[in-house]
Amino acid sequence: MKIAVIHGQQHKGSTYNITKLFLNKLAGENREIVEFFMPRDTPPSCVGCCNCFMKGELKCPHAEIVQPVVRAIEEADLVILDSPCYVLGMTGQLKTFLDHMGYRWMPHRPHPQMFRKIGLAVSTAAGAGAKKVTKELRRHFFYWGIPKSFSYAKNIRATNWEMVPAKKKARIEKEVTRLAAKILKRQGKVKPGMKTKAIFKLMGLMQKSNDWNPADREHWVKNGWLSGKNPW
Ligand SMILES: Cc1cc2nc3c(=O)[nH]c(=O)nc-3n(C[C@H](O)[C@H](O)[C@H](O)COP(=O)(O)O)c2cc1C
């Protein structure tokens, strides 16, 4: 199984350690893990040129930084996004990267391989907000076309991993083990549900009358999605 991990933070705190637990539990003989750390791998803020949407992703002024991460996501079977909760949202550096993935949303040019992948969103907060973050991250998975995503959100009542009591760490490990087993069970077997199919169909109708963005329309035509083919 190929796993791409986009860490929303660079430091190795609670969020990183929980993701690491997942990676250990998901470990198999054939696993291949690629990890990116934000902000080390974060592109500069989006400049709003819309080149990615209108002229193609390679015309983004940050393409050289963005594309290696995008390729790793496209090649993976499982995509993991993690982030500590910062003021009830994901970290700014992760959001900055995700802004650069806008062209891969279903209304634009979703990658055909996305419709076979699994996503996992991980977040921790001190008191409140971890669930808000995983919900936000799963929305990205959904609009990328990923049909099945899981989340692990934990309000850990601590500001770093060392502060988390051993008993709580043991409970976290148990929960992670259970969820990792679920993920492994679904691997290679995911299919888009009604909601993905409905949004995809709606986007197809929009693309049929699209005379404002040739880059998007060509993508849909090239993949045969305007003549009855589906990416799943
Ligand atoms: C800038 C900043 C904002 C934060 N905002 C929240 C918050 O809105 N809610 C919360 O419960 N914890 C908040 N925290 C605490 C962290 O989310 C929490 O300690 C988390 O587990 C840290 O994960 P990490 O060890 O991976 O960095 C914030 C921390 C920082 C540094």
162 lines ligand 1 (CB under 6 A): no
Q: What is the CA radius of gyration of the chain?
A: 18
> Does 101 reside within a domain?
yes
Report the pLDDT averaged over residues 86-94: 98
> Does 216 reside within a domain?
no
58 lines ligand 1 (CB under 6 A): no
Tokens at residue 34, please? 């690629």
3-state secondary structure the chain: CEEEEEECCCCCCHHHHHHHHHHHHCCCCCCEEEEEECCCCCCCCCCCCCHHHHCCHHHCCCHHHHHHHHHHHHHCCEEEEEEECECCECCHHHHHHHHCCHHHCCCCCCCHHHHHCEEEEEEEECCCCHHHHHHHHHHHHHHHCCCEEEEEEEECCCCCHHHCCHHHHHHHHHHHHHHHHHHHHHCCCCCCCHHHHHHHHHHHHHHHCCCCCHHHHHHHHHCCCCCCCCCC
> Does 147 reside within a domain?
yes
> Does 72 reside within a domain?
yes
| Mean per-residue pLDDT over the chain, rounded | 97
Contacts of 221 (CB under 8 A, 6+ apart): 227
Query: Residue 30: is its pLDDT beyond 80?
Result: no
Report the pLDDT averaged over residues 69-94: 98
129 lines ligand 1 (CB under 6 A): yes
Pairwise CA distance, residues 133 & 137, whole Å: 6
Q: Please identify, by atom number, the ligand 1 atom nearest to the C-alpha of residue 154.
A: 21
Query: Residue 54: is its pLDDT beyond 90?
Result: yes
Q: Please identify, by atom number, the ligand 1 atom nearest to the C-alpha of residue 127.
A: 11
**pLDDT for position 27:** 78
Contacts of 50 (CB under 8 A, 6+ apart): none
- In the chain, the number of structural domains is 1
pLDDT tens digits, residue range 159-172?
999 999 999 999 99
Q: Please identify, by atom number, the ligand 1 atom nearest to the C-alpha of residue 160.
A: 25
> Does 198 reside within a domain?
no
Ligand 1 midpoint to CA 2 (Å): 29
pLDDT band at 28 (very low <50, low <70, confident <90, very high): confident
Measure CA of the first residue to CA of the last residue in the chain; give whole Å: 19
Which domain does 46 fall in, by range? 2-192
> Does 200 reside within a domain?
no
pLDDT tens digits, residue range 176-208?
999 999 999 999 999 999 999 999 999 999 999
| Residue reference for tokens 């990658």 | 111
**pLDDT for position 177:** 97
Cα 15 off chain centre by: 15
> Does 131 reside within a domain?
yes
Most informative mutation of 83, 159, 160, 163 for ligand 1 (most atoms within 8 A of CB): 159
Report the pLDDT averaged over residues 17-26: 96
**pLDDT for position 206:** 97
- Residue 49 maps to which CATH number? 3.40.50.360
> Does 175 reside within a domain?
yes
196 lines ligand 1 (CB under 6 A): no
Q: Please identify, by atom number, the ligand 1 atom nearest to the C-alpha of residue 156.
A: 21
**pLDDT for position 184:** 95
Cα 122 off chain centre by: 10
Tokens at residue 83, please? 């982030």
123 lines ligand 1 (CB under 6 A): no
